[in-house]
Structure formats: C-alpha cells, structure tokens
C-alpha cells in the first residue's frame, strides 16, 4: 500500500525535517499546539493517517477485547471455544463498549476522531481542504458507531470532544443512550458527508487506500442492509428495505462510474494492488521488515500451514464449511443430477471457488514459490505426516500469497479487502429481494456465479432455481455469501443479522476429518511417490475418512439475548444514565 499511515511525530524524521520546520521552526514537537498543526495541510494529513491506521480493519476481526474470539470460530466456518456458543456469557464478558479511558476501544477512537474534526474545523486551511479531510474522519466515526450499534443497539452519540478533567466534565460525560434509530441516522449522516466531499477515485498512487465516494456508499449500503435485516427489522418494514436498496444502488452506480467491478479472478483479486477493480475498501500493508513504515499483514502467516510459515494453522475450515460448497453446476451436493456427490471424493466436481478456498489432503497448492507443491494431511499408524497436524484436516488458502517464502510470510504485504465489489452486488441483490425486485436479485447472483466459473446451464441460471420466491431468494443470497465470503469475517454477522444462529448451530458440534492411510493394499513406495499418484485412486483405495467432533466440551447453545449484547455493568456503574437492554433485565429497547 502506498498510504504510509505514520503517526504525526514520526513525520519529522530527518529527511522530512525541512517540511516540519516551515510551520514548527524550533518548536518542541512533543508539545506542539493544535493551531500550528491544523493550519498546515501536510501535518493535518498525518493526523488523519493516524486515524486510518487506528480504525481500518486488520483482517478477520475478533469480537471486541472482552471475550475476543475470532469471528470465524463463532460460525460453521471453523471452530473454537467461546462462552457465546456455550451459552454461558455473563454481563461483563463481551464487547467493546468502553468501560475505561482507553484509546484502543470504540469510544477512545471516537474521541480521537472528534478531536480531529474539531481541530480541523477551527483551523485555517481552505474550506475545500477542510471538507475533504473532515469527511474522511467522519467515515471512521460512522465505522465505529456501526460497530457499537450492531453489538448493543442504540448507544450514546458523542459528536464533540468531551472535557476530560474535573467534576463538571464528569457530569457532562454522563450521556444517556440514543435510540437505535437515532444511531443509524447519525451513521448515515456522517457517510453522506463523506460521499459529498471525497473523490470517486484518487488520482495519486500515494492515496491508494483512501476513502472514496464508492467505498463510503458501499459501507452505507452495508449499514442500511443491517438495519433492514430481521435483527433490527422484525416486522419486515419495506421502507427499511427500500432505504437499503437505494443506498446499495447508489454504491453500485458510483463504483461502476469510477471503474470498479468484479475482478476477472476470484483468487488472484487479493494480489493485485494497482487498479484492482474489486478493492472497494481495503487496509494496505507492505513488506517492510524494520523501519518505521513497517506494516505487515498477519493473516497470511497465521493462516498458512505451520510448516509453510513461522506461525500458521489458523482459520482451519470445518467439515461443515467443506460440505457447503456447491457442485460445478451450481447445485448443492446431493441435489445435482449432473454431478454425483460422494463423501469419499468430496473434492470432485465442486464449484471452482472450492479449490481456491479450501486446501485438503493431496491438493496441489503452490506455496513458497513451489508451483508443484502438494498438501498432505493424512495419518499413518495414528501419527500425522505433517510437522504439526491440522485439527480439522483442512486449511484455508484464500488470500495466501503462493510466491511468499517461509521466512517472508510474516512480512506479507497483501492488502486486506474489507469490502469487495462482490459484496456490493450481493448487498444489492438482498435489498432488491427485500422490495420484491426479484429479477434484480437474480442478475447480481448470476454475475457472482459466472465470475466464480460455475456452469451456466441450459437455462443460463448458473445452478439457481428458476422462479424463486422472495423467501427463497433470501436463502439463496445468504448461501452465496457463505461461499463467496468464506473466511472474510462476514458469516457471523450474516447469521446474526438474520437471527439464524440457533437454527444453524444450536445442538450441533462442528466436525473435522482425520484421513488415515490404510494398513493394507497401499503401495510400498506410496510415501515417496505420493505426489505422482492419481488422487482419486488414492482416496478410493488407500485412504479412509474418520469424522470427529471438534466441539468436545459442549453442544452449541447460542441464546436469543445474544442478538443484542449487554452493556457491561461496569459501564453502567460509571454512568448512571445508561440503561441496560431489555433482554438483559433493563428497560432499553434496542428495536426502537
């Protein structure tokens, strides 16, 4: 990524000292006043870059600093223990509401953003420059409030910096919760300001990754789609679906006008930085190893097999995720009449996204620059052939750069794409279904499946059922999102906003696979010649599949009250005006 995202004081490195001197001269940099900084566009930009750095998502997120499970472990994508899935969550054990003065939680970050907005407003820069700078910060204030509202419902809207010292300041900081509707309205207001003031596309390579009209509109589309979903719209109010449709259509129009669209390749889209048409909102990374601009992507090193990196083995797909992928004709396994699904040969004739997302025993997966590399995860005599075994039998290969070597994996510079153009299409499809524009929904679904490489079929529907009802289309879109966005941190939020976690997970235990080499009938030279053996033959004659429960301590028990998390009691103790959610014994209604 070209955008450096350094903190203000780092700007005054020796090579940049002359630029600093023009406004600071010999002023003590550690106590520089705001009126000096915010009349200089370069220094103001450095402060904004700090806001970018503190707020852009760093890959697959965790669910706040409280319980902090990875989002993938809270779904059928992967697995991991959590009090949320055990059904034992206590009031003070979740989320990021902000129970102390902390620059890393949501309200700490909002305070920094509000200070920036105030200082720029009061500065002496030209109004056009002010608008462009402030509107980018407003995007991130909207980002932070969306994180809060989808966790808790309505929250106190703090839109100006609060005084930090004194009894009077403390009293003024006791703010009540705004309604959920008011919180969504403020988020949209901030995003509309962003859309009005930023460019549709930045022209300088140094601005790669900055917020554009299209990225702000796409995020607005995500926000209003959430507001229209059953979690926040249990009465299926069509006006909310219409607002979502309008926002996502605006995003589509702004993006296509400025050259955005689906990348030609589902897997290679992660590795194109310059002029990547699919990268709507991203976090930029670089491959630096030691200087102050170092910003490496930790996802690659954490996700690849442990023997192919310095860490590795995270985000392991469950058997449920593996089974979910359609067949090559777009039909679900067991529903296709063209391609018979056999559990023993689970990898055969699947949606092309399968091999680009799931790494399984025997698959060719170029890693460390070795284009002939094959992954083997089987067991011999109860012992794994891997240096460290995959617990599920599978790995995630999405967004793992095959050219990066073992030693360099920890310095990956692959940008994380938080909003892809594919999401804009599926957000638009879902909103269209919401207002009964069913043909519109079909159009977007077919575009996604066509890019994936699914066969069109004689009817040109890419495996989609003809003449689906509104409800069937909703199901089809959620299914498409499960496949398209696997291991991108979207599945948990989709299940939650549709209130489908109990239906999908409760009473189940997620599954892994142990692949064992048979003790008889296997060629003596299999271990040395396995890369040359026909894989279908190996699975049919040499391997057995043994399924195991990954959730060993409990069957999943997600509770309905988890659709709105509780305000931590410590926050309520600090602020007597806060009211607990009605699903946790309070009187606040998060549906209003």
Rounded to the nearest angstrom, the gap between the alpha carbon of residue 557 and the centroid of all alpha carbons in its chain is 24
d(CA 41, CA 24): 13
As a CATH number, domain 198-284+415-488 is: 1.25.40.900
Query: Over 90: is that where the pLDDT of 419 sits?
Result: yes
Question: Which carries the bigger pLDDT value, residue 204 or residue 166?
Answer: 204
Count of other CB atoms within 10 angstroms of residue 424: 29
Give, in order, the Cα–Cα distances in Å from 432 to each of 254, 438, 441. 18, 6, 6
pLDDT given for residue 62 in this prediction: 81
SS3 384: strand
Helix H or strand E segment including 544? strand 543-549
**Sign, CA torsion 357/362/364/365:** positive
Query: Over 50: is that where the pLDDT of 19 sits?
Result: no
**Residue whose entry in the numeric block shows the structure tokens 């077919």:** 446
Which residues neighbour 71 within 8 Å (Cβ) at sequence distance 6 or greater?
60, 61, 62, 63, 489, 491, 492, 493
Mean pLDDT for the stretch of residues 563-569: 93
pLDDT given for residue 35 in this prediction: 67
Q: Which range, of 344-358, 410-424, 456-470, 567-581, averages the lowest pLDDT?
A: 567-581
d(CA 261, CA 257): 10
Residue 590 Ramachandran class (φ > 0 left, ψ -120 to 50 alpha, else beta): alpha
Mean pLDDT for the stretch of residues 340-353: 98
pLDDT given for residue 327 in this prediction: 98
pLDDT given for residue 274 in this prediction: 87
Which residues neighbour 116 within 8 Å (Cβ) at sequence distance 6 or greater?
47, 48, 51, 134, 137
d(CA 216, CA 537): 51
Mean pLDDT for the stretch of residues 546-554: 97
**Sign, CA torsion 481/141/111/151:** negative
Contact at 8 Å (CB) between 248 and 428? yes
d(CA 465, CA 382): 44
Rounded to the nearest angstrom, the gap between the alpha carbon of residue 2 and the centroid of all alpha carbons in its chain is 21
Report residue 366: phi and psi, to 5°: -55, 125
Q: What is the mean pLDDT of the chain?
A: 91
Query: Over 50: is that where the pLDDT of 353 sits?
Result: yes
d(CA 224, CA 247): 7
**Residue whose entry in the numeric block shows the structure tokens 């194109």:** 272
Name the DSSP letter for residue 62. Answer: B
Count of other CB atoms within 10 angstroms of residue 469: 12
> In this structure, what is the dihedral angle of CA atoms 237, 241, 242, 246, given to the nearest 10 degrees?
160
pLDDT given for residue 164 in this prediction: 61
Which residues neighbour 82 within 8 Å (Cβ) at sequence distance 6 or greater?
67, 69, 73, 74
Start-to-end CA distance of the chain, whole Å, equals: 41
Contact at 8 Å (CB) between 38 and 44? yes
Give the closest residue to 109 by CA, choosing from 152, 67, 64, 72.
64
User: Residue 532: pLDDT band by 50, 70, 90 thresholds?
Assistant: very high
Give, in order, the Cα–Cα distances in Å from 448 to each of 98, 119, 261, 354. 39, 44, 11, 14
Mean pLDDT for the stretch of residues 476-499: 98
Which residues neighbour 57 within 8 Å (Cβ) at sequence distance 6 or greater?
283, 416, 418, 489
pLDDT given for residue 63 in this prediction: 78
Give the closest residue to 314 by CA, choosing from 373, 400, 383.
400
d(CA 178, CA 184): 10
d(CA 382, CA 363): 21
pLDDT given for residue 11 in this prediction: 35
Tens of pLDDT, residue by residue over 365-378, are 999 999 999 999 99
d(CA 418, CA 209): 11
Name the DSSP letter for residue 464. Answer: P
d(CA 269, CA 12): 36
pLDDT given for residue 165 in this prediction: 55
Specify the pTM.
Answer: 0.93
Q: Which range, of 164-178, 219-233, 353-367, 576-590, averages the lowest pLDDT?
A: 164-178
Report residue 466: phi and psi, to 5°: -75, 150
**Sign, CA torsion 518/520/524/530:** negative
User: Residue 70: pLDDT band by 50, 70, 90 thresholds?
Assistant: confident
User: Residue 12: pLDDT band by 50, 70, 90 thresholds?
Assistant: very low
- The domain limits of the chain are 1-62+102-176, 198-284+415-488, 298-414+511-549
Mean pLDDT for the stretch of residues 66-85: 86
Burial state string for 502-516 with b = 16 or more CB within 10 A and e = fewer than 16? bebbeeeebbbbbbe
Give the closest residue to 578 by CA, choosing from 277, 44, 189, 174.
174
**Sign, CA torsion 82/88/89/90:** negative
Tens of pLDDT, residue by residue over 166-192, are 566 667 778 999 999 999 999 999 999
Query: Over 70: is that where the pLDDT of 456 sits?
Result: yes
Question: Which carries the bigger pLDDT value, residue 165 or residue 278?
Answer: 278
pLDDT given for residue 30 in this prediction: 43
pLDDT given for residue 21 in this prediction: 34
d(CA 517, CA 522): 8
DSSP strand pairing (383-384 vs 379-380): antiparallel
Structural tokens at position 519: 């003790």
Residue 390 Ramachandran class (φ > 0 left, ψ -120 to 50 alpha, else beta): beta
């Amino acid at each position: 990524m070209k955008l450096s995202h350094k903190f203000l004081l780092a700007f005054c490195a020796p090579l940049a000292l002359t630029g600093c001197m023009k406004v600071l001269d010999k002023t003590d940099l550690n106590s520089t006043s705001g009126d000096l900084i915010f009349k200089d566009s370069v220094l103001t930009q450095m402060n904004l870059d700090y806001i970018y750095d503190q707020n852009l998502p760093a890959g697959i997120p965790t669910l706040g600093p409280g319980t902090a499970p990875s989002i993938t472990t809270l779904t059928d994508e992967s697995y991991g223990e959590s009090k949320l899935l055990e059904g034992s969550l206590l009031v003070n054990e979740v989320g990021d509401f902000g129970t102390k003065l902390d620059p890393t939680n949501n309200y700490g970050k909002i305070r920094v953003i509000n200070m920036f907005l105030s200082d720029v407003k009061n500065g002496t820069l030209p109004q056009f420059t002010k608008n462009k700078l402030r509107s980018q910060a407003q995007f991130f204030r909207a980002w932070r409030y969306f994180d809060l509202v989808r966790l808790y419902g309505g929250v106190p809207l703090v839109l100006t910096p609060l005084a930090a010292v004194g009894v009077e300041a403390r009293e003024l900081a006791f703010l009540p919760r705004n309604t959920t509707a008011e919180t969504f309205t403020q988020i949209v207001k901030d995003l509309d300001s962003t859309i009005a003031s930023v460019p549709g596309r930045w022209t300088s390579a140094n601005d790669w990754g900055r917020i554009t009209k299209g990225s702000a509109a796409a995020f607005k589309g995500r926000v209003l789609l959430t507001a229209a979903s059953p979690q926040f719209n249990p009465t299926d109010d069509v006006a909310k679906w219409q607002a979502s449709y309008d926002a996502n259509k605006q995003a589509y129009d702004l993006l296509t006008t400025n050259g955005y669209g689906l990348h030609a390749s589902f897997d290679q889209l992660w590795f194109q930085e310059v002029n990547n048409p699919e990268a709507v909102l991203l976090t930029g990374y670089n491959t630096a190893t030691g200087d102050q601009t170092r910003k490496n992507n930790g996802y690659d090193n954490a996700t690849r097999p442990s023997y192919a990196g310095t860490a590795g083995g995270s985000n392991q797909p469950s058997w449920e995720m593996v089974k979910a992928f359609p067949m090559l004709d777009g039909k679900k396994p067991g529903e296709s009449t063209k391609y018979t699904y056999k559990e023993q040969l689970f990898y055969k004739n699947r949606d092309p996204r399968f091999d680009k997302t799931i790494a399984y025993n025997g698959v060719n997966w170029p890693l460390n620059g070795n284009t002939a590399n094959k992954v083997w995860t089987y067991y011999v005599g109860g012992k794994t052939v891997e240096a460290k075994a995959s617990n599920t039998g599978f790995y995630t290969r999405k967004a793992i750069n095959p050219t990066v070597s073992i030693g360099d994996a920890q310095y990956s510079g692959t940008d994380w794409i938080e909003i892809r153009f594919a999401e804009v299409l599926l957000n638009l499809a879902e909103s269209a279904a919401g207002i009964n524009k069913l043909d519109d929904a079909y159009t977007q679904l077919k575009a996604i499946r066509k890019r994936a490489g699914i066969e069109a079929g004689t009817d040109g529907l890419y495996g989609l059922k003809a003449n689906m009802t509104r409800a069937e289309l909703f199901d089809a879109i959620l299914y498409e999102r499960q496949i398209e966005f696997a291991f991108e941190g979207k599945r948990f939020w989709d299940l939650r906003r549709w209130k489908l976690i109990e239906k999908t997970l409760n009473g189940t235990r997620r599954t892994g696979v142990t692949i064992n080499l048979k003790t008889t009938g296997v060629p003596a030279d299999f271990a040395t010649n396995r890369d040359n053996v026909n894989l279908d033959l190996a699975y049919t004659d040499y391997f057995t599949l043994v399924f195991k429960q990954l959730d060993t301590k409990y069957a999943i028990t997600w509770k309905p009250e988890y659709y709105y998390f509780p305000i931590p009691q410590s926050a309520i103790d600090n602020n007597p005006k806060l009211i607990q959610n009605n699903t946790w014994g309070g009187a606040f209604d998060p549906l209003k």
